[in-house]
Structure 1
Amino acid sequence: MRARVSVALLAGLVALTGCGTVPASSSPVQITQVAEPPGDIGIEALPPVAGASAEEVVRGFVDAMASTTRNHPVARQYLTREAAAGWDDTDGIDVISADYAPVASADGSVTVTAGLVGKVDGAGVFSVGGGQAFTTTFSLVEQDGELRITNPPDGLLQLEPDFARTYDQVNAFFLDPTGTRVVPDPRFLVSGDSQATALVDRLLAGPSTAVAAGVTNPAGGVELRSNVAVDQQVATVDLTGLPTGGADGLNVLCAQLVWSLDQLDDVRAVRVTVDGQLVDLPGVPDVQTVDDWASFDPDAVPAASVGHYVADGALRTVTAGEAAPGPAGTGQYGLVSAAVTADAGTNELGTTVAVSVAGGTSSLLVGPYGGELAPVLTAASFTAPTVSATREEVWTVRDGAEVIRVPTTGSPQTVSATTLPGLGPARVFRLSPDGVRAAVVVDGADGGQLLVGTVVRDDDQVAVRDLRAVAPDLSQVVDVAWRTAASLVVLAGAGDEDGTAPYAVGVDGWGLDPLSTAGLPAQPTAVAAAPSRAVLVVAGGTLWQLVAGTWSTLVRGQGPVAGGSPFYPL
Structure 2
Amino acid sequence: MPTPTDADAVPGRARAGARGRRLRTLRAYALGVAGLLLAGCASMPDHGEIRRVQASQGVDSQVRVFGVPPADKASAGEIVDGFLEAMTSDDPQLETARKYLTEDAAKRWRPGTAVTVLSAGLDRFPVRTEKDPDGPRWKVAGKKLATVDERSAYQPESGDYTEILQLVQEDKQWRISSPPSSLVLSESDFQRIYMPVNKYYFAGGTLVADPVYVRQRSDPDSRMDPTTQTVQSLLAGPSRWLAPVVESSFPTGTELRQGTKSLSYDGQNTLRVPLNDKTDNVASPQCQKMATQLLYTVKELTASRLDRVELLRSDGKSSSLCSVTEVTAAVIANRPRTPEYQYYVDNQDRLVRMKLDVTGEDQQPKSEPVPGPLSAPGGFKVGSAAVSYDERHAAVVSQGGHGLYVVPLSGSGAMPQPVLPAKGAKPVTLTAPSWDAAGDLWAVDHDPQHPGLWRVPGGTGVPEKVQVAGLDGRISSLKASSDGARIALLVEKEGRKKLWVGRIERPDAQGDVSAVSVRELRPAAPQMADVTAMSWAPRGRLLVVGRESGGVVQARYMLADGSVVAASLPGATGLIAVAVPASEDEAKPKPVVGYSADDGIVWLPPGAQWRTVAPGGRDPVYPG
Q: TM-score range by the shorter chain?
A: 0.7 to 0.9
Contact preservation (8 Å) 1:41, 1:166:
no
Does structure 1 residue 536 correspond to structure 2 residue 586?
A: no
* 3-state SS of 2:330 partner: helix
Name 2:435's counterpart in structure 1: 387
Decide which of 275, 288, 291 is 2:327's aligned counterpart: 291
Name 1:212's counterpart in structure 2: 243
C-alpha displacement of 1:62 = 1.7
Which runs of 5 or more structure 2 residues have no equivalent in the other structure? 1-61, 130-135, 219-223, 355-364, 585-589
Change (3 A) 1:80 1:238: closer
Q: Which amino acid in structure 2 is aligned with residue 351 of structure 1?
A: H
Residues of 2 paired with 1:511 and 1:147: CA distance? 40
Name 2:314's counterpart in structure 1: 275
Residues of 2 paired with 1:554 and 1:321: CA distance? 13
* 3-state SS of 1:217 partner: coil
- Cα deviation code 1:88-144 (max 9, x no counterpart): 323311122343333445645433333323111112111122x43333333334544
Name 1:406's counterpart in structure 2: 456
Name 1:442's counterpart in structure 2: 491
Name 2:370's counterpart in structure 1: 324
Contact preservation (8 Å) 1:505, 1:512:
yes
Name 2:232's counterpart in structure 1: 201
Residues of 2 paired with 1:154 and 1:251: CA distance? 39
Name 1:18's counterpart in structure 2: none
* 3-state SS of 2:82 partner: helix
Name 2:54's counterpart in structure 1: none
Residues of 2 paired with 1:146 and 1:310: CA distance? 75
Decide which of 524, 527, 534 is 1:480's aligned counterpart: 534
Which runs of 5 or more structure 1 residues have no equivalent in the other structure? 1-39, 344-348
Name 2:577's counterpart in structure 1: 526
Does structure 1 residue 304 correspond to structure 2 residue 314?
A: no
C-alpha displacement of 1:494 = 4.3
Residues of 2 paired with 1:156 and 1:273: CA distance? 35
Decide which of 48, 72, 80 is 2:94's aligned counterpart: 72
Decide which of 542, 552, 555 is 1:502's aligned counterpart: 555
Decide which of 177, 180, 189 is 1:153's aligned counterpart: 180
Residues of 2 paired with 1:446 and 1:49: CA distance? 55
Contact preservation (8 Å) 2:456, 2:463:
yes
* 3-state SS of 1:43 partner: strand
Q: Which amino acid in structure 2 is aligned with residue 258 of structure 1?
A: L
Name 1:263's counterpart in structure 2: 300
Contact preservation (8 Å) 1:340, 1:369:
no
Q: Which amino acid in structure 2 is aligned with residue 271 of structure 1?
A: E
C-alpha displacement of 1:70 = 5.5
Residues of 1 paired with 2:519 and 2:73: CA distance? 54
Residues of 2 paired with 1:355 and 1:156: CA distance? 50
Decide which of 194, 197, 219 is 1:170's aligned counterpart: 197
- Cα deviation code 1:446-480 (max 9, x no counterpart): 61111111112213242221111122221221221
Change (3 A) 1:65 1:446: farther
Residues of 2 paired with 1:488 and 1:75: CA distance? 37
Say how many residue pairs are matched: 507
Contact preservation (8 Å) 2:245, 2:503:
yes
Name 2:289's counterpart in structure 1: 252
C-alpha displacement of 1:71 = 4.7
Change (3 A) 1:337 1:55: farther
Does structure 1 residue 566 correspond to structure 2 residue 623?
A: no
Change (3 A) 1:329 1:54: farther
Decide which of 114, 121, 124 is 1:99's aligned counterpart: 121
Contact preservation (8 Å) 2:373, 2:408:
no
Contact preservation (8 Å) 2:66, 2:91:
no
Residues of 1 paired with 2:327 and 2:367: CA distance? 35
Q: Which amino acid in structure 2 is aligned with residue 439 of structure 1?
A: A
Name 2:161's counterpart in structure 1: 134
Change (3 A) 1:242 1:126: same
Q: Which amino acid in structure 2 is aligned with residue 386 of structure 1?
A: S
**Off by >6 Å, runs of 4+ in structure 1:** none
* 3-state SS of 1:477 partner: strand
RMSD of aligned alpha carbons: 2.9
Residues of 2 paired with 1:147 and 1:568: CA distance? 62
- Cα deviation code 1:260-293 (max 9, x no counterpart): 2222327834221223464466xxxx6x442331
* 3-state SS of 1:241 partner: helix
Name 2:357's counterpart in structure 1: none
Change (3 A) 1:152 1:114: same
Change (3 A) 1:451 1:274: same
Contact preservation (8 Å) 1:218, 1:253:
yes
Name 1:5's counterpart in structure 2: none
Name 1:6's counterpart in structure 2: none
Residues of 1 paired with 2:188 and 2:547: CA distance? 25
Residues of 2 paired with 1:373 and 1:550: CA distance? 41
Q: Which amino acid in structure 1 is aligned with residue 314 of structure 2?
A: D
Name 1:187's counterpart in structure 2: 212
Residues of 1 paired with 2:297 and 2:213: CA distance? 13
* 3-state SS of 1:423 partner: coil
Change (3 A) 1:236 1:408: closer
Q: Which has the higher contact order (CA 8 A, sep 6+)?
A: 1
* 3-state SS of 2:78 partner: helix
Contact preservation (8 Å) 1:72, 1:89:
no
Contact preservation (8 Å) 2:207, 2:335:
no
Contact preservation (8 Å) 1:112, 1:136:
yes
Residues of 1 paired with 2:569 and 2:301: CA distance? 28
Residues of 1 paired with 2:263 and 2:551: CA distance? 50
Change (3 A) 1:224 1:77: closer
Q: Which amino acid in structure 2 is aligned with residue 84 of structure 1?
A: A
Contact preservation (8 Å) 1:172, 1:186:
yes
Residues of 2 paired with 1:50 and 1:299: CA distance? 60
Residues of 2 paired with 1:494 and 1:229: CA distance? 40
C-alpha displacement of 1:353 = 0.8
Q: Which amino acid in structure 1 is aligned with residue 298 of structure 2?
A: L
C-alpha displacement of 1:212 = 1.1
Does structure 1 residue 428 correspond to structure 2 residue 477?
A: yes
What fraction of aligned residue pairs are identical, expressed as a percent?
26
Decide which of 57, 69, 90 is 2:79's aligned counterpart: 57
C-alpha displacement of 1:423 = 1.4
Change (3 A) 1:68 1:417: farther
Change (3 A) 1:446 1:231: same
Q: Higher mean Cα deviation, 74-83 or 465-474? A: 74-83
Q: Which amino acid in structure 1 is aligned with residue 274 of structure 2?
A: D
Decide which of 354, 379, 397 is 2:396's aligned counterpart: 354
Q: Higher mean Cα deviation, 266-275 or 448-457? A: 266-275
C-alpha displacement of 1:505 = 0.8
Change (3 A) 1:305 1:295: farther
